[in-house]
């Protein structure tokens, strides 16, 4: 009943990863594993298996701390890639996710690059519950106003602020997530523009809460900043956990480049969950 896992993080956004382990996934299991006092502790639990098809190398599923499933996680994809590259000779792999195929590449000895593809910009692709302009949602709360929404494999809404404040972001994010505008939930990011090539971002993730870093949140923030003509297409995104390089290519693919750190490997007894 002991299952092997490894603990890893991308800029402080941490994950418990099971590789080629057959587990019965349940909300109870995810809640136990992600609990920082009774379990191992993480923002997301990730299950990875080697692919049996001829168009991908790996298949990955991502589960938030509350047990809900996420379509994708940019930081976790870097962590999976680094772990796989360490144990295999490949320098480029394709990972199948609920959001489609994602290319992951070994950028150098420490950095991993992820191509998150083209963002979805239509209201029904994000999705939003009504036909309104995703680039100006007209949200008016105490801290967050306006709102530009986009799907980077998962739904995001971006707000531009003059100062990043955790408490205010948390309060307003809960109102947005618990509201009716985003039927599948949404990740909420507050962005402070520093220059044409740098922004600071803080993200409240659905099913998790405030995190030290969010790869797709950083990507959505750069996309929104470019749309508003606040930034160029190559931007350093500073978050609590560290910096991530984000680039929007000419064909509107979003690339992220950053480090991924393996913390430890271990075995966990899951007898009561099998």
For 78-91, the pLDDT digits (tens) are 999 999 999 898 99
The predicted pLDDT at position 13 comes to 97
For residue 244, name the pLDDT band (cuts at 50, 70, 90): very high
For 23-72, the pLDDT digits (tens) are 999 999 999 999 999 999 999 999 999 999 999 999 999 999 999 999 99
For 112-122, the pLDDT digits (tens) are 999 999 999 99
Q: What mean pLDDT do residues 254-269 have? A: 96
Between the alpha carbon of residue 179 and those of residues 45, 87, 142, 260, the distances in Å are 26, 44, 15, 34
Per the annotation, the verdict on 73 as an active-site residue is: yes
The predicted pLDDT at position 82 comes to 95
Position 109 pLDDT exceeds 90: no
Q: What mean pLDDT do residues 89-99 have? A: 94
The predicted pLDDT at position 89 comes to 85
Structural domains present in the chain? 2-116+259-265 (3.10.310.10), 139-257 (3.10.310.10)
DSSP 252-266: --EEEEEE-EEEEEE
Strand blocks (E) in 184-253: 187-195, 198-205, 209-211, 234-239, 242-248
Position 274 pLDDT exceeds 80: no
Q: Could you give the dihedral angle defined by the CA atoms of residues 260, 266, 271 and 274, in that order, rounded to the nearest 10 degrees?
A: 30
Is-above-0.85 flag for pTM? yes
The predicted pLDDT at position 273 comes to 86
Between the alpha carbon of residue 117 and those of residues 96, 253, 257, the distances in Å are 13, 5, 14
Catalytic residue among 42, 79, 214, 231: 214
The predicted pLDDT at position 1 comes to 86
Kindly give the pairing relationship between strand 148-151 and strand 187-195.
unpaired
The predicted pLDDT at position 24 comes to 93
For 136-188, the pLDDT digits (tens) are 999 999 999 999 999 999 999 999 999 999 999 999 999 999 999 999 999 99
Per the annotation, the verdict on 79 as an active-site residue is: no
Report percent pLDDT > 90 for the chain: 96
Catalytic residue among 73, 79, 226, 231: 73
Are 212 and 243 in contact by the 8 Å Cβ rule? The answer is no
- Count CB-CB contacts under 10 A for residue 17: 24
The predicted pLDDT at position 183 comes to 97
Report percent pLDDT > 70 for the chain: 100
The predicted pLDDT at position 232 comes to 97
């Amino acid at each position: 009943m002991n299952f092997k896992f490894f603990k890893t993080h991308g800029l402080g956004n941490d994950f418990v990863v099971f590789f080629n382990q057959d587990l019965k996934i349940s909300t109870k299991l995810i809640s136990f594993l992600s609990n920082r006092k009774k379990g191992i502790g993480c923002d997301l639990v990730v299950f990875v298996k080697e692919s049996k098809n001829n168009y991908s190398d790996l298949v990955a599923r991502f589960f938030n701390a509350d047990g809900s499933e996420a379509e994708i996680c940019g930081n976790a994809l870097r962590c999976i890639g680094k772990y796989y590259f360490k144990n295999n000779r490949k320098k480029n792999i394709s990972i199948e996710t609920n959001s489609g195929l994602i290319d992951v590449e070994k950028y150098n000895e420490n950095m991993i690059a992820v191509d998150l593809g083209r963002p979805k910009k239509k209201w029904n692709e994000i999705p939003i519950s009504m036909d309104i302009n995703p680039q100006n949602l007209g949200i008016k709360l105490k801290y967050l106003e306006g709102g530009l929404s986009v799907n980077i494999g998962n739904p995001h809404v971006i707000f531009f602020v003059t100062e990043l404040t955790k408490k205010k972001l948390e309060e307003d994010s809960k109102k947005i997530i618990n509201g009716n505008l985003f039927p599948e939930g949404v990740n909420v990011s507050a962005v402070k523009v520093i220059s044409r090539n740098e922004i600071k971002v803080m993200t409240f993730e659905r099913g998790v809460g405030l995190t030290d870093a969010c790869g797709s949140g950083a990507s959505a923030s750069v996309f929104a900043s470019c749309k508003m003509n606040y930034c160029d297409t190559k931007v350093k995104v500073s978050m609590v956990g560290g910096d991530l390089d984000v680039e929007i290519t000419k064909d509107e693919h979003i690339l992220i480049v950053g480090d991924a750190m393996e913390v430890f490997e271990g075995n966990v007894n899951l007898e009561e969950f099998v």
